[in-house]
Chains A and B, each alone.
Chain A
Amino acid sequence: MTGSSLRAERLWLAAAAAVAVAAVVGRLHSAAAFPALQDYDAAGHVQSAHFFLQGLLPPPSSWSGFHPPLYHALAGLAWAMLPESVPVHLAMRYLSLAPGLAAIAIVWRHLARRFAPEDAAVTAVLLLSIPFVGIALVMLGNEGFCALFATLVLVRLLDLPTDDGDLVRHALVTGLWVALAALSKSTGWVVGGVAGLAYLVHARASLPRALLCGTAIALPALLLAAPFYVRVALDGGGSPMSFLSGAAHSPDLALVMSSQPPGQRELWHYLNFPASAIAWPRFDGAGMATSVPGLLHASAWADVHGHYIWITTTTLKVLPIVSVAGLFATVFACFGLLRIVQRRSPGELWALLFAGLLFAALLRYSWVLPTYSAVKASYLLPALLPIGLAFASALQALRGRFRSVARGLLLLLAAGDTAFLWFGWWI
């Protein structure tokens, strides 16, 4: 490496580090500044933590009672231990933020092994700053833990060992992460399925070894998490929806959900992208409730439900800018996804398969629950690694000046989104 390229690398890393520090400080500030209980389903999550505080399991019929228990149990523990000076919602937000930041750090570490350090750093900083990631991690909820454990599973699939004994031991540890992912959120089972398939395919030459690996993946989750899911399934009458929505357990919750538009999904809702997704990226924009891509885009790059960013004359001017920038970033990431497919690295393809399944599950969920609030990009939070791989792959595919420009633009976007997500800048 020449002196000038070394200097350039250091410059990129320093710039990325500066934005990363600002982003982390911004998340810590926003978690503290965001008003109490304004988070997505805050009252439900707090109530579940309160059940654990009393030494009880939340009833599946309670608002967030269908969620697996890890996050709420830890929140109950924190509630019992922390002094009154620490608000419960703040402790619960930091319990969401900490595993989320850890997940991004793990993604960065693994990207740095596969890609140029500058590309890995820029990608990781962007992951920190994408509005759907930033907002979800600032809010209390179980998404952060699921993202952490799903990421821990997926990074293990990137490089599976070839030695027989090593592979089974490797599968055992992966199985533990799968179990913790399933104990965090029901989407944890999806990463478990992908991991099981990855080991089976990898060990296909020897049936006993493949079965041993499959057992190592499934057993911890079945022992630790399955009893909870059986309880929820029994309460929900065996409906698969009972793992995904409280509406399957309670008639009044179903009633509240059913009052949201559009009330019915049609194929057309998956095929249109209204102009308001850019100009007014909120659920009440013209045609937004009937556009799944529009809602998804606005929830990824802005604040579609208006929970976090307040509407003021200033934010009205900024929202279209972040939305347009996000659209270009999405196109860039899609280019990166194509590169991953072309590269055909098995580990990366497993990560891609997981992202695809998660995306398909999101679309299916939006069909069976035809409300605008069912379309949230935050459901894709466990896919931090595949999203990171996509951006890093797209950067890697570029050469010379184009690569530098792309890095600069992504870093600029990350810095802009970091400022955009600083809670209260508009006041």
Chain B
Amino acid sequence: MRRASVLVVLILVISAGCARLPATPTETVEAYFRNLKRDPSRNLPLLTPEFHDRHGISMAAVEGWLWGDYLFMDPVEREAPIEALAPVDATRGRDAWEFAWLQVQVEGRLRKAVMFLEPEFRAPVALDDGRVEVQVKVRVEGSFGFVQVFRLKQEGAAGWRIDEIEQRGVQLRDVLIAFSAHPQASLIPAVKAASRPENQSF
């Protein structure tokens, strides 16, 4: 019994040395894309709390992913439009936005879409507000792809964390892949259109 306890403690101590935070802005962004594909939960510590104030993903907006194709129905088919449900989320704390952001990644089509991401990282650039910007060219087979701009800030022991993401040059045919690279409320109408069976490319 004593030997087993010593072994467990030893494993924990060795394991503690294994956990490592990304040291540079580029490492953080690389980890973000890696985690999207393999381990979405690990992206939570890579994001600042303010990040979740910006993406606009709420439970009201993603409940379609939770309970079937509710999201992809026309407003007339739904009991209430998404917009009518959205303020319910606003009554809650930041954890509601964080939860919804993670929850949306459960959806099967997004899990498939992230596998299509082929990021190319560019050198980081310092911004006037103390943050650092990392641009990523996201290639998508058969199209120009799009650019995903990460703005990161250094937060003590937490290292470099993603504070804001912006996408540029997203074409309608790539919208689901772009959404999988950065779930955000502004893309939801286009995602709805692209997700209809007749428009699905995968």
Instruction: Please determine whether chains A and B interact with each other in the same assembly.
Output: yes
Shortest C-beta distance, B9 to chain A (Å), equals: 12
Judging by beta carbons under 8 Å apart, are A82 and B63 in contact?
A: no
Cα separation A281 to B24 with both chains bound (whole Å): 51
Judging by beta carbons under 8 Å apart, are B95 and A37 in contact?
A: no
Cα separation A76 to B41 with both chains bound (whole Å): 12
Name A54's closest neighbour in chain B (CB-CB): B45
Shortest C-beta distance, A232 to chain B (Å), equals: 15
Shortest C-beta distance, A341 to chain B (Å), equals: 38
Q: Select which of A38, A46, A84, A259 is within 8 A of B44 by beta carbon.
A: A46
User: Which B residues lie within 8 Å of A81 (CB)?
Assistant: 12, 15-16, 18-19
Judging by beta carbons under 8 Å apart, are A84 and B41 in contact?
A: no
Judging by beta carbons under 8 Å apart, are B19 and A87 in contact?
A: no
Q: Which of B83-91, B130-138, B175-183 contacts A (4 or more CB under 8 A)?
A: B83-91
Size of interface on B: residues with Cβ below 8 Å to A:
38
Size of interface on A: residues with Cβ below 8 Å to B:
37
Q: Select which of A43, A88, A255 is within 8 A of B39 by beta carbon.
A: A88
Q: Which of A55-63, A124-132, A177-185, A348-356 contacts B (4 or more CB under 8 A)?
A: A55-63
Tell me the chain A residues, 44-73 only, with Cβ under 8 Å from chain B: 44, 46-47, 49-51, 53-54, 58-59, 61-63, 65
Shortest C-beta distance, A384 to chain B (Å), equals: 24
User: Which A residues lie within 8 Å of B19 (CB)?
Assistant: 79-84
In the assembled complex, B3 has its CB within 8 A of some CB on chain A = no
In the assembled complex, A238 has its CB within 8 A of some CB on chain B = no
Judging by beta carbons under 8 Å apart, are A50 and B92 in contact?
A: no
Name A80's closest neighbour in chain B (CB-CB): B19
In the assembled complex, B174 has its CB within 8 A of some CB on chain A = no
Q: Tell me if B's interface is mostly helix, strand, loop or mixed.
A: helix
Cα separation A128 to B15 with both chains bound (whole Å): 30
Q: Select which of A46, A54, A82, A250 is within 8 A of B102 by beta carbon.
A: A46
Decide: A59 near B59, CB < 8 A? Known: A80-B19, A81-B16, A88-B41: no
Cα separation A88 to B111 with both chains bound (whole Å): 16
In the assembled complex, B60 has its CB within 8 A of some CB on chain A = yes
Contacts A59-B93, A88-B42, A259-B79 aside, 10 further interface pairs with beta carbons under 8 A come to A36-B41, A47-B95, A47-B98, A59-B95, A80-B19, A81-B16, A83-B18, A84-B39, A87-B38, A250-B92
Residues of A within 8 A of B (CB): 35-38, 42-44, 46-47, 49-51, 53-54, 58-59, 61-63, 65, 79-84, 87-89, 250-253, 255-256, 259-260
Residues of B within 8 A of A (CB): 12, 15-16, 18-20, 31, 34, 38-42, 44-45, 58-60, 63, 66-67, 70, 79, 85, 88-89, 91-93, 95-96, 98-99, 102-103, 105-106, 111
Nearest 4 A/B pairs, CB to CB: A83-B18, A88-B41, A87-B39, A81-B15
